Structure 1
């Protein structure tokens, strides 16, 4: 039985999440509302919301957990060429937190294989925008000739980044944003990006699964470390990946 949480109820221990045989592995709890205070508590305990319009708020803590270790990020030859071009071409910009809500809406409108509709509901946009206003959620955006053509958003606590979603309206635009994020996190010695659930796309970029226990062990100290800055330029970012305009 999945517990129903009243507004003041704490989350149950994540070890009580449904198992593989349940048909909804990782489902931990449900609630009627998505409050920003609840969202903060969830991330600090390795829990995230994922649901569709018409459903209650569903809270998850899967085992295993998909993560991307910044030092393991895979830069293919074709992506490396693209990043070099981005560095040289003034038409390309990497912007941070320029249009957070716009990035969320673009992610919501991007079709996903095997997925009908979107989990990025109006309530999700409002809740994460509240975190953004408090400096706890960020967008990394790829801009070309003054137009936002790709990006991603996620939540940042201390020395931990929780990736949420990405989109691309131009070839490799989301990968450019991800490379910029990875470079920034590597520069600040961030050891892990939470990717939540396994996809072939993330695996192709170096993502891998770890046990929930290992994920929570890292989380317990990482989220309470001092926060990192969120202002950067594309040259400093991409140089940390061994990419520069002349190479």
Structure 2
């Protein structure tokens, strides 16, 4: 479902709080609000899993994690593909949301090189994942595992991944009905969770 887009930060936060998300068409010409009868979430409990092949990369501490050290670079990395819904206008919106404290990047680094990252919005106890990318093998996968740990530590209720794909399925992602999702979202919005602190 597509609805008329209003471009101001309070309206954007209201839209996400009601279960909508922003997307542009493949040409980047039309930006609008979308919702879905099904919504994919990444579980924050014991249902979360990850491929055994990742354990070595994690145990070897090949990557360090950081929050918001390269926000614009993560946005650009997420948009750097043949077909993307992440238009130039949407990049500007994410930057404004970031400056206002709503949008964040969760990053993995190898030495001084950005290895991968996840772009998302935080509202209360909800992390709404928008996109992810990698430049170094396993960079985004390790980011996913470390992000779930990060959200658990900060008592987040919801990790919204929006739409299912094979990558998310390997991490135990689940598909909820629209009603189930909105019930979980309402619960998450009541939680006062902090995504950013000085521990990273």
TM-score (normalizing by structure 2) = 0.91
Unaligned runs of 5+ in 2: none
Which protein has greater RCO, CA pairs closer than 8 Å, 6+ apart? 2
1:194 to 160, 181, 184: 160
How many residues align? The count is 198
Moved over 4 A (4+): none
Unaligned runs of 5+ in 1: 1-26, 235-247
Once residues 97 and 131 of structure 1 are traced to their aligned partners in structure 2, the CA distance between those partners, rounded to angstroms, is 12
After superposition, the CA RMSD in angstroms is: 1.7
SS in 2 for 1:95: strand
Once residues 159 and 100 of structure 1 are traced to their aligned partners in structure 2, the CA distance between those partners, rounded to angstroms, is 21
**What's the counterpart of residue 12 of structure 2?**
39
Report the CA distance between 1:232 and its aligned residue.
Answer: 6.0
2:114 to 133, 136, 148: 148
**What's the counterpart of residue 80 of structure 1?**
55
**What's the counterpart of residue 58 of structure 1?**
32
Segment drifting more, 196-205 vs 186-195: 186-195
Equivalence map 1:175-190=2 (5 Å):
175-190=141-156
TM-score (normalizing by structure 1) = 0.75
**Higher gyration radius (CA):** 1
Q: Higher strand proportion, which one?
A: 2
2:100 to 106, 110, 134: 134
Evaluate the alpha carbon distance shift between residue 119 and residue 175 of structure 1 in structure 2; reply closer, same or farther with a 3 A threshold: same
Deviations 1:154-184 (A, max 9, x none): 0001111000100011111001111111001
Report the CA distance between 1:192 and its aligned residue.
Answer: 2.1
